[in-house]
Every structure is written in structure tokens, then in C-alpha cells.
Chain A
């Protein structure tokens, strides 16, 4: 398989943004006016480095085979590469063992799977699940579906006016019936990182399980599941420079052992008779059917790609660009930034006075700038912070630069001018 140079342990590649940009073929696209793309929709999905694209082609061209089945060489190679991602991912988020990583088709599928299997095993009628008002719909609806199915009750953890999650509110919500708390490590709207470790501690003190949505955090925040002590954590490859269609959940081994299978099919069972089956061991118990093999192999390559850089250097660069964006945007009289009580990470959301968010995003298209506008799959958050038409969002990745921000500022000024006429 195509390997990115270096990995967690080797000498680190210097963080040279120009050379990083060269790794991403799509970033060289230009519009009919010759303007290069400014990709500021990284929270929706990131662009892919050539090594990831090559890994997909390499798999389909040179060793396309199903995993955990073939006796031929391709089957073994495919299985090794696929399982290699499991090891890389475990290493990346500091899990104890590769078996604690379960592959899914994305963070959404991971959350749905977790809600269903945890629900099946642990939820009784009148039990409570806490979710915060920050959450993406994919960390709300699966729990709401459990509410309908198992008679549990969802309790919303209210945000403060400034967007903060105050842990003392959690104390008010926790009761002996609170089975689970689900919240995101990094908000895809506010760029806010809650006090994750402290929250987990408080939940655990109440005997409450914790699910962390790290869909946004994976590419931007160093994650150590052991240090956090979270019970479960989910992520998507495509938000971390990997392919779409691949994701995962992490679970503490001892907990995973207690959970029933999710989907039924090949791989997830040990023995099958006409009217019964015995489930397979962890992790295969949760991986029914042929997985998105190429995408998961590509996911591993994306992790290698990320890990060739010193994480601190990478964070520093992203911080610099995000902070610069915050400064430049807040200096514009017509911009109102969404609140973020902590340092913003990867995301800056805002409103443009007199312009609907949709119009802003459409207008900057003309300058080949990709922004997102709307509710960003967070309707409860928008309601809470009173953004009835949503927000404009610029979200950043490792290849974004201060020049990208400068171009955004020019485009926003132009948009406002057009509406002034």
C-alpha cells in the first residue's frame, strides 16, 4: 500500500505550508478568473492529500480483495492494510489495544451503532441520557430514537449565553437514573472545546457512561482516550484528510465485551445455525458485512500523513491562522462573530450585518471561496443562541493560510458593497 512518509515515532517533517499545499492536488484548482480555491469548509469535509488518493487507487489497482476471507495473497494484503489502520488509529488516540477500535462508515453511523447497542444493553424505561445544546444532529437524533424505542428521557444540557458548557449545570442534571452523557470534543459551529476531562470525571463520579463525539476534534486536537478516560469516542476519516465512507468508534474493551452485536451478517458471528448464531469476539462482533476496505486503508494513510508532523507545530499553525481570522473579521464593522468563550479551534462562525448567511456564502463563491452557511446540523444550538437564519462558517485545516483569510476579508467587503449598491 502507499505509505505516507514517517509515522508517530520517526523524525518529524517540518511544517512547511507551501509544501503541504503541494500534497493536496485539489487545492491547485482555479476558477475561470484564475483564482485558486480557498477551502474554508473543512468542518464539513477536508481535502485529501495525494497519498490518500493514491492509496485508494493502489488498492483497487493492485490488491483489490475482500478482508478476513481470501486465502490468496491479495486477500492477506488487503486484510493487513485494513487491520493496519486499526492499529494506527488505536495508536493515534492512545487506545490500549487495536481491538478497541470498531470501524464504521462514519461518525454518524458510529453514534447510531453506539446508541443502539448501549441502549439495548443498558437503557431501562425512565433512564436518562444527557446531551448538550452544542451537539450535531448526529449526536442527538440517535439518542432521541432510543427515547422513542426504550422509554428513556433525554435531558438537554443548556449552554450559557456565551456558548460555554458550565460543568456545574451538569451536576444539576445528573441523577441516579442518568445512564449516559454524550457531547462533542470540538463544536463544529463555535470552535469551542469544552472542559472534556473534567466533564467526564463528573459524569463518572455519578456512574454515568460518556460518549465523546470527536468528529471535528480528530484532525485538530490531540486525543488521548486513556487520559480522558472516556468510555466511547467516535470519528470520521473524511474530516481528517481521509476518504468519505470510513469512520470508527472507540470503546473501552471491558465495556465493548458487554455489548451485543449491532448489524447481523458476515464476520460478526462465530457459529450460525438455521435459527441462532453466536456473536464473534470484539471488534468483529460490531463489523457485519464487507466494510469500505479501500476507504479504511486510506484512513490509515491519512493518519500517517497527519502524524508525520509534529502535533504542536501543526496546532500552532492552525491556531495562528484561526486567530488571525478572528482578528481580521472582528475588525470589520459589519461582522458579528458567534460567541466562543475559549480559544477558537478550527472554526470561526459569524454573521454579516444586513446579509442572510446564504447570500454571504453564495456571494463569496464568485471569488472561489468555499464557506458554509446555515444551521450546520445544529438546530438546537442555533435556537439557543438565537440565530434563526443560522451562521456563516469558515473552518480551517492544516493547509489554510493567512492569505486565505485575507482573500476572505476582501470577498466579504465586496459582498457587502454589492448589497449596498
Chain B
């Protein structure tokens, strides 16, 4: 399961920081293991101009998030969404066909054999889809969202969480 690619991405994840001017952000949390990933997006003219993630998780979770940012950056919103859905289907369903041009993502193949760990691999992708479906961050609360790196729905303009149980840790 721990292919070289995954170990490398875990050690030095790509796009592992908060965006300063995100247009969209969403938090993914696996309450059963404490893994949490926030995906930050800057969408311009229907394109994923910038994507990054913050949070903490196991090697599988972080490597998958890192691979995701590489795959999705620069795609149109529609393509990125389709892409993410395809990867999620592939990870969740052992009978699903392998998506085209998997590239390094193919390293996640081994995870599919461990149902306990599939959630680790899918967390960031779910957070990405959630971010897309969230209303864009308006200028007034942009700052608080960026500073706490939290879920869109948990943030208020003063940076406090509406929902204490959101567990984003900031």
C-alpha cells in the first residue's frame, strides 16, 4: 500500500498551504480518526486557478490530497468536478474502471484493498467537491476564512466558528 510515490507526497506534499485569496474553501473531517483537510480554491472564469490544502492526516490522506492538487489545478470547474467524481468512484468501488491518465494517482490502487483506509484517500476529494458547491467567499469574510482555514459554514466574519464541533482545530 505504501508505494514510493505516496511516501514522497506525504513527506513533501504539493500545494500544502492556505491560499491568501480563496474564492472557495471547504473542510473535510473524518471524525472516526481525526483526519482533517481543508481544500482552498481560487476559481476565476470557471477555472481552478489555484488549489491548495491544509490540515493533518495520515500518509495516505496527505498524499492523496497532494496528488489531487496536481491533477485538478488549471482544469475547468466542470472537468475538475468530473475528474474528482471519477476518482472517488474508482477508489470506492473495486469493480469500477480505472479512470484515464491516472498518472501517479495509480499509486492509490493498493488502498482500495483496505476499506478502513479508503476514507483516508477520499477525504480531500470530498472536501474539494464540497468547496465547489459552497457559495463563493465574499470579500467581507474572506479574511477570516483564510486565517482560520476552516470550513465555509463554520466561519463567521470575526473568525469564530458557528459550530464548535466543527473540529477544524483553529
Contact = CB atoms under 8 A, between A and B. Distances in A.
Interface of A: 355-359, 362-363, 373-375, 379, 382, 388-390, 418-419, 421
Contact of B2 (A373, A374, A418): A418
A100 to B, nearest CB: 36
B73 interface: no
Contacts of B34: 374-375, 382, 388-390
A356 B6 CA distance: 14
Interface of B: 1-2, 4, 7, 10-11, 31-35, 56-61, 114, 117, 120, 169
Contacts of A362: 1-2, 60, 114, 117
Contacts of A389: 33-35, 56-58
B42 to A, nearest CB: 28
A39 B53 CA distance: 37
Contacts of B1: 362
A373 B117 CA distance: 12
A374 B61 CA distance: 14
A417 to B, nearest CB: 11
23 contacts: A356-B59, A356-B61, A357-B58, A358-B33, A358-B60, A358-B117, A359-B58, A375-B32, A375-B33, A382-B34, A388-B34, A388-B56, A389-B33, A389-B34, A389-B35, A389-B57, A389-B58, A390-B34, A418-B2, A418-B7, A419-B7, A419-B59, A421-B4
A355 B60 CA distance: 11
A358 B57 CA distance: 9
A373 to B, nearest CB: 8
Contacts of B32: 374-375
Nearest to B36: A388
Given A358-B35, A359-B2, A373-B33, 10 more contacts: A358-B33, A358-B58, A359-B59, A362-B114, A374-B32, A382-B34, A388-B56, A389-B33, A390-B33, A421-B7
Contacts of B114: 362
A95 B31 CA distance: 39
A213 to B, nearest CB: 21
A388 to B, nearest CB: 5
B2 A363 contact: yes
B14 to A, nearest CB: 18
Nearest to B2: A418
Given A363-B2, A375-B34, A421-B7, A356 B57 contact: yes
A373 B7 CA distance: 19
